[in-house]
Amino acid sequence: MFAPPALASDLRHGGKLLLTDGMTSVEGSSGGGLATWALIGGRATDAGIGGGAHSTLVRTGRFTLAGAGAKIGLLDRIELSYTRQIFDTRSAGAALGLGRGFKLGQHVFGAKVKLIGDAIYDQPWLPQIAVGVQHKRANKDELLRALGARKTAGTDLYISATKLQLDTGILIGGTARVTRANQFGLLGFGGDRNGDHSIQFEGSVGKLVTRKLLVGAELRTKPDNLGFAEEEDAFDVFAAYAIHRNVGLTAGYADLGSIATFAKQRGLYLSLQGAF
């Protein structure tokens, strides 16, 4: 059984219990690695303003995704986030005729609002529920349109629910996202196969092994809009460790499926987060 941490010592600095502000998802909001959670970033409770910064690296057999950004949490009610992503095609760029080490990128601007519930306290059956928006702007306009993308900018809408039971240490989360992003938006939005928005799912389950260590797994479905390359759902397993009350490290193994005709893109990811 997971024993709840001593509230007095953990609430002294920043307000929230360790790990209960979430880690940082691939798009920069509070979440796991692939999935967005309903948690609000920053260590502050509803009595203050918190925030943080992160750096993330995902390396598969053919590609590397690097991201860095920041987020701010206002009164544990509103989260604002920004992430800059760089997608390095490495040797795959040469095989695709783009040149070895060809890079794509995008900006991700996010906002999230907590509606009802609390991820930890209040009724044990009522999760924390939040709604959010992410506006993404990819570069390489001419290339993405040549690949079949309808747009190089797009906006995702989502609703997320997250609950952590302190007596068992079990975390469960789910997110429904309305999107038409190709490979999270890095390959544009909509395509020659399908140009419409669709509803996709993100699910998370985790276990607090100790008050400083959370292990878990995630599933994220993705649209398949581009005719030149099949896009598959993504999975990961992760471990998040609170090195310090203000510093956390997440390590995991992700299976991103097929990317730009290259199948079985699997590999490690690391994310370092500082929060206040």
CATH number at residue 163: 2.40.160.40
Q: What are phi and psi of 99, to 5 degrees?
A: 105, 140
> What pLDDT is recorded for position 16?
87
Q: What is the pLDDT of residue 15?
A: 78
- Identify whether 250 is part of a domain: yes
DSSP character at residue 188? -
- For residue 2, pLDDT over 50 is answered with no
* Structure confidence at residue 22 (pLDDT): 84
Residues 228-242 pLDDT 10s? 999 999 999 999 999
Structural domain includes residue 152 = yes
Mean pLDDT of the chain: 92
| 3-state DSSP percent of the chain in helix, strand and coil, to 5 | 5, 50, 40
Per the structure, the complete domain to which residue 87 belongs is given by 7-275
**Is 2 inside any structural domain?**
no
Q: Is residue 40 part of a domain?
A: yes
- Is residue 4 within 8 Å of residue 18, measured between CB atoms? no
Across the range 221-231, mean pLDDT stands at 96
- Please give the model's pTM, rounded to 2 decimal places: 0.91
* pLDDT greater than 80 at residue 125: yes
Map residue 7 onto helix, strand or coil.
helix
1 assigned to some structural domain: no
The dihedrals phi and psi of 130, each to the nearest 5 degrees, come to -140, 155
Per-residue pLDDT reduced to its tens digit, 249-267: 999 999 999 999 999 999 9
Dist. CA 34–CA 167, nearest whole Å: 26
Residue 151 lies in a domain: yes
Residue 109 falls within a domain, yes or no?
Answer: yes
Residue 194 within any structural domain of the chain: yes
When divided into structural domains, the chain yields a total of 1
Distances (CA, A) of 206 to 72, 138, 155, 210: 24, 32, 28, 12
- Residue 56, both tokens: 């993330």
Q: What is the pLDDT of residue 3?
A: 37
Q: What letters, b where the CB count within 10 A reaches 16 and e where it falls short, cover 76-88?
A: bebbbbebebebb
